[in-house]
Structure 1
Amino acid sequence: MEVGKILGIAYNVIPVKDLEKSAAWFVKHFGFNIRHQREDYLSLFRDNRPILDLIQSDNDSRAVIEIKQKKRWIITFFTNDIVSLHDYLKSEEVKVGDISDEGEYGKFFVLEDLDGNLFDVWQHHDCELVY
């Protein structure tokens, strides 16, 4: 009998203050679609692929970790065109950092959502995502 394998991460859960407002922000800026909406929880998909789950939070916890007194992201998004995405988000007044070119490791930038959750955005020629 063959044992099942972990094939990847299905989704990540992040806390938000206002579920509807945050969901609309992700739909607008990233083209996600909303699924499985409940009273205080919903799933965001890219086509038929789960990406994020948003959960209504009544406290200040965020999807952020701190290392050496510096806030860091815990979720990295993958993109096929980091420059155009970065330019678009800046034009929409989304809080984004500068693009960092790490050579063989790819290009990155950090963004912040409405609730202070941090995300890393990554582009790399060597990464193949199969769906």
Structure 2
Amino acid sequence: MNERLIRVGTTYLPVSNVEASVQWYVNKLGAKLTYQDMDKAILNLANQSFFLVKTEKKQNLNFYDANGDERFSLTFEVNGLHALEELHRDFKERQLNVGEIENRGHAGKNFVFRDPDGNLFDVWSELSEDFREKYSVGKPSDI
């Protein structure tokens, strides 16, 4: 079967305050703002568009698994353990709500962080092989 869905282009994030969220994503994560009005904003980050949508009451993307653990809906990838540790350190210095680096029993390591609305994100130390090949990204020396 030929692939018909090529990539995820946009992720929609519920936010309580568009202006404050734009400032957080731009200043804390380095996102690039491409559009903003009172009810929405479009940011580019990690080769994807993020559409911040103002919600009436506080909501987020998170869900709870069968064990009652809160889960994230999105994982960012970095190129190796050193990059993960460096980003983790930077996020802590920027006073983001960030968890500890974890070994989850699979390749690489992860940590989670939250935006001001409680949207939970994961960061993984492994880039997918397809991404490496398409963008000619070599493997890090720390793997």
Structure having the larger proportion of residues in strand: 1
**Aligned mates of 2:30, 2:129 — CA distance in 1:** 21
Query: Structure 2, unaligned stretches of length 5 or more?
Result: 136-143
**Normalized against structure 1, the TM-score is what?**
0.86
Shift of 1:59: 1.3
Matches within 5 A, 1:67-78: 67=65, 68-78=67-77
The one-letter code matched in structure 2 to 1:98 is: E
**Aligned mates of 2:38, 2:3 — CA distance in 1:** 33
The aligned counterpart of 1:90 is: 92
**Aligned mates of 2:100, 2:24 — CA distance in 1:** 21
The one-letter code matched in structure 2 to 1:9 is: V
* Secondary structure at the counterpart of residue 100 of structure 1: coil
* Secondary structure at the counterpart of residue 5 of structure 2: coil
The aligned counterpart of 1:21 is: 20
CA-based RMSD: 2.1
Instruction: Name segments (4+ residues, structure 1) moved above 6 Å.
Output: none
Shift of 1:60: 2.2
Change over 3 Å in CA distance of 1:125–1:64 after alignment to 2? closer
Matched, 1:52 2:54: no
**Normalized against structure 2, the TM-score is what?**
0.79
Q: Report % sequence identity.
A: 28
Matches within 5 A, 1:1-131: 5-46=4-45, 49-67=47-65, 68-80=67-79, 81-102=83-104, 104-124=106-126, 127-129=129-131, 130=134
**Aligned mates of 2:105, 2:121 — CA distance in 1:** 20
